[in-house]
Amino acid sequence: MPLYEYRCGDCKSRFELLVSREHADEVICVQCGSENVRRLLSIFAAQRLGVASAGGREEFVAGTGGSCGCGGGNCGCH
């Protein structure tokens, strides 16, 4: 059940209530019983997806040249 925060327009008191969503707008003031109650923005805990960094490892493609392993150097195989 969500926790809502209300503010009474008559006695200016603020209070929190656990009410079901259907009755969220049918709340009377707990102090003076007034129906002149405004619901404030409820504070929900922001659900954050933990984004783990992937280690930052870079993959190198070894050997750009032929099969000699020199990487296109001066081995004379190219």
Residues forming the site for Zn ion (CB under 5 A): 8, 10-11, 29, 31-32, 34
Choice between 7 and 70, CB closer to Zn ion: 7
Q: Is 39 exposed, middle or buried (0-12, 13-18, 19+ CB in 10 A)?
A: middle
Choice between 17 and 70, CB closer to Zn ion: 17
Choice between 19 and 34, CB closer to Zn ion: 34
> Measured from the CB of residue 31, what is the shortest distance to Zn ion in angstroms?
4
Q: What is the 3-state secondary structure (H, E, C) of 11-42?
A: CCCEEEEECCHHHCCCCCCCCCCCCCEEECCC
